[in-house]
Structure 1
Amino acid sequence: MDSFFEFAATRIIPALDAGLWTTILLIVPASLLGMAIGVTAGTARVYGPRPLIRVLDWYVAVFRGTPLVVQLYFWYFALPNVAVGDVRLVLPPMWAAIIGFALCSGAYQSEYIRGGLLSIKRGQLRAAQALGMTPLTTVTSVVLPQAFRRALPGCGNEIIYLIKYSSLASIITVNDLTGMGRSLAKSSFRNTEVFVVVGLYYLALVTVATFVLRAVEKKLEIPGFEGKKE
């Protein structure tokens, strides 16, 4: 039997490198779409009309209250059974995973954005309107940028969670890091070595994402308003 390092170099790393690219192609669009959904839904839940607020509250309740695994099963296995006329909605595994992750992440991120918006004093709204700004301009140009800065740490944590939760995509046949690792472990019967390296890959992804998110937070800081004054 090959040593751990020989097996990792010749079998594990080449297989996981292919899965890594699939994982990145899954995480990036799901994160961006989830953040867009979160900002839109969170803003609408604070400033939107009452019927829209109720619909979005139900959306958040459903996607925060049901397991992500169940949601993925729905998009990939159950949705094809829903027919619109003669058309059946069949999603490829990758798109089912992206949509599932984005909608779930967006529900959580909308809560962070909503909390950030509610933390902004109402006096700023009245002051902006006194200067002649429209309600839409006031929200998008004055309130939302401040709220986004305050919500960014929470939204960043949600992206970190998404990186780890992306391993669930393998249950709907996506050949990501976990899917490739599972296939290799079954064929080689060397589960410990394979999944130790899989864990290291995810740790590296989370470390890089944490560094990028901290850099973004630092870039968006306003001197004198962020952190404690010395």
Structure 2
Amino acid sequence: MSIDYLLSILKPMLEGAQATILLFLIAIIVSIPLGFLLTLASTSSIKWLAWLTNGYIYVMRGTPLLLQLLFFVFGLPLIPVIGEYLVLDRFVAASLGFILNYAAYFAEIFRGGLLAIDKGQFEAAQVLGLNRFQTTTRVVMPQMFRIALPAVANESVTLVKDTALLYAVAVPELLHFAQTAVNRDFTIVPFVLAGVIYLFITLLLTMFFKVLERRMRFS
């Protein structure tokens, strides 16, 4: 296989990788804080809020991400009366689906981290005169994120791989250009190259989280 051929298919695949990386960044930046808010709501003393939040988390975690993407991209415009106002760009609709799905998963991860904190920490905060906001930001959140970080790292790597589902809703991304090259040239080289690109992205992400874990461990 010539270098010229590899370069010719690498350029469009790297363009597709830009969509992959952009979706990942949008989803991770929005879904992590949203997941934390869902955790607070699901553990709230307000029963109806906790019930609705837990129901949402159950639905999003209990149905396939692909089904959710198909709903947001192709299903929203079909809703009676309001469907015409819900026609979104496919990338935007897919991003919304990823955000809402992964926020539910992060909510459960953070809930696990929250439950792992010793109740004595809350009592100690009260003794020190900290209010609820101070307790949450100074005591709960740092410990919760430290505990949840390994699971967040694993979920983030999964998110990178799940971006390939954009292919199913006709959004051009890395896998789309790889499949196009395979169909055109009758060779598996584009698939191998796509795999290398995915591995490179996940490698960088894994290294980032390892550094972050190390810093939080000794902070």
TM over 0.5: yes
Question: Normalising by the residue count of structure 2, what TM-score does the alignment of the two structures yield?
Answer: 0.94
Structure 1 residues without counterparts, runs of 5 or longer: 224-230
State the shift of 1:103 in Å. 1.3
Distance 1:52 1:8, change over 3 A: same
Partner of 1:155: 152
Please say if residues 19 and 175 of structure 1, whose CA atoms lie closer than 8 Å, have aligned partners that are also in contact. yes
- RMSD, aligned α-carbons: 1.6
Partner of 2:215: 219
Instruction: Compare 90-99 and 64-73 and name the one that shifted more.
Output: 90-99
State the shift of 1:97 in Å. 1.6
Identity across the alignment (%)? 34
1:58 corresponds to 2:55: yes
Partner of 1:23: 20
1:129 corresponds to 2:134: no
1:71 corresponds to 2:63: no
> 1:78-122 CA distances to partner (integer Å, 9 max, x unpaired)?
011125558420111111121111111111111110011111111
What SS is found at the alignment partner of 2:117? coil
State the shift of 1:185 in Å. 2.0
Amino acid of the structure 1 residue aligned with 2:209: L
Question: Normalising by the residue count of structure 1, what TM-score does the alignment of the two structures yield?
Answer: 0.89
Please say if residues 181 and 195 of structure 1, whose CA atoms lie closer than 8 Å, have aligned partners that are also in contact. yes
Amino acid of the structure 1 residue aligned with 2:111: R
Amino acid of the structure 2 residue aligned with 1:59: Y
> 1:149-189 CA distances to partner (integer Å, 9 max, x unpaired)?
10011011111000000000111121110111122222222
- Give the one of 38, 42, 46 matched to 1:41: 38
Question: Take 1:55 and 1:217, find their aligned partners in 2: how far apart are those partners?
Answer: 33
Structure 2 residues without counterparts, runs of 5 or longer: none
What SS is found at the alignment partner of 2:218? coil
Question: Take 1:85 and 1:69, find their aligned partners in 2: how far apart are those partners?
Answer: 23
Q: What is the count of residue pairs matched by the alignment?
A: 219
